[in-house]
Amino acid sequence: MDDCPVCGRPTIMEPMRGSFDLVLLEANPLFSRYALQNISFSAGYSNGLQYKVTGSGYYQIGGEVALVQQMTLQVAINNGFTNKLCYFTNGTQAVDRPWPMIHISVTQTNGTFTQVYSLDLAAAPLREIWFSTAGPFTAGIWQSPTNHISGGDLLSSAGRVVKRNADLTRNLGIMPIAPDVGLDAVDIIAGGEIVFSINQDVFSETLGPLHHGDLLSNRGKVVKRNQELLAAFQPQSTNLRRPRCRANDERRQHLLFHHHQCCCRRRHDALSWRHPY
């Protein structure tokens, strides 16, 4: 919204869309604090006035008594005639959408008597599709040796390697060191910690035997043993196939994290969000 507080011109309201990266900076029992990076919004129509908004900021959500949110932005707004550095913050701290969706209105704090901008942001994440393959292959988009993809590498539908299998298992103390122990399922939990299971049984010098179906962490620990995951079911058979963890085992192409709304790319604890309006 482009408003003139002291003049009689109509308030200019334009639909806006775009994206930003949301990167976790700090998390504690009371609140979580994020950096907004690579803000890129556009507003207006091709046959009329257009606005380009770029910059960065911070977002905080949490609270001891009530859930509140706070956002500050430092952005450049180019309307085709001027390119102004603008600072924004929110007046109302109430949270009206469940996390990870964001709805917040921010108003320019360094506006003038003749022009003040306001932004109403409604954003939600869409993660890339992450998956692994049943076996190795050679990628045609890179040169050797980086073009070799193993069956245990975590891949993205955007055409990149999210994590090599060796990166996932480096802290597990597996001996002898295995070039690839497969990747059965993956999830990301608080703080960007990656939890996963592997396709084969191996031995760790620090953790002991690691089995297909155990839930492991890239930080070098066993999150849950397979028996712990099954304990609540009191299984009668001892010859059970080990369960998959949040993965689609159809043809062993494991599709993970399909959460579609607007546009957000998940990179560990970094998210890229799209403002849909």
Span 229-242, pLDDT tens digits? 999 998 876 555 55
207 and 93 housed in the same domain: no
Residue 262 within any structural domain of the chain: no
Whether residue 232 lies inside any domain: the answer is yes
Statement to judge: residues 39 and 143 lie in one domain: no
In a domain, 94, yes or no: yes
Q: Do 117 and 153 sit in the same domain of this protein?
A: no
Over residues 136-168, the pLDDT tens digits come to 899 988 888 888 999 899 998 878 888 999 999
Q: Are residues 109 and 146 in the same domain?
A: no
**Half-sphere CA count of 81, side-chain side, radius 13 A:** 2
Check whether residue 11 and residue 26 sit in a common domain.
yes
DSSP string for 94-129: B--S-TT-EEEEEEESS--SS-EEEEEEEEEE-PPP
How far are the Cα atoms of 32, 64, 197, 233, 244 from residue 237, in angstroms, in the given order?
A: 44, 47, 22, 11, 18
State whether 61 and 135 are in the same domain. Answer: no
Domain span at residue 153?
Answer: 130-257
3-state secondary structure of 262: coil
Q: Is residue 22 part of a domain?
A: yes
Asked whether residue 72 falls in the same domain as residue 43, the answer is yes
107 and 160 share one domain: no
Q: Which of 45-49, 89-93, 240-244 has the highest mean pLDDT?
A: 89-93
Q: Are residues 177 and 75 in the same domain?
A: no
Sorted by sequence, the CB contacts under 8 Å of residue 2 that are 6+ apart come out as 11, 12, 13, 14, 51, 79, 115, 117
55 lies in some domain: yes
Q: What's the rounded Cα separation, in Å, for the pair 8 and 276?
A: 30
Model pTM score: 0.53
Residue 100 belongs to some domain of the structure:
yes
Dihedral sign for Cα atoms in the order 167, 170, 172, 176? positive
Q: Is the pLDDT of residue 255 over 80?
A: no
Does residue 205 lie within any of the structural domains? yes
Residue 170 predicted with pLDDT over 60: yes
Name which of 158, 239, 169 is nearest 207 in CA terms. 169
Give the tokens for residue 68: 């509140």
Residues 40, 148: one domain? Answer: no
Pairwise CA distance, residues 245 & 234, whole Å: 18
Check whether the bond before 235 is cis (ω within 30° of 0). Answer: no
The continuous run of DSSP H or E covering 222 comes out as strand 221-224
Residue 117 has pLDDT above 90, yes or no: yes
Domain check: are 195 and 172 in the same one? yes
Between 59 and 246, residue with greater pLDDT: 59
Q: How many domains does the chain have?
A: 2
Q: 33, 105, 21: which is closest to 63 by C-alpha? A: 33
pLDDT per residue over 207-222, tens digit each?
999 999 999 999 999 9
Asked whether 180 and 150 are in contact (CB, 8 A), the reply is: yes
Q: Do 87 and 160 sit in the same domain of this protein? A: no
In a domain, 201, yes or no: yes
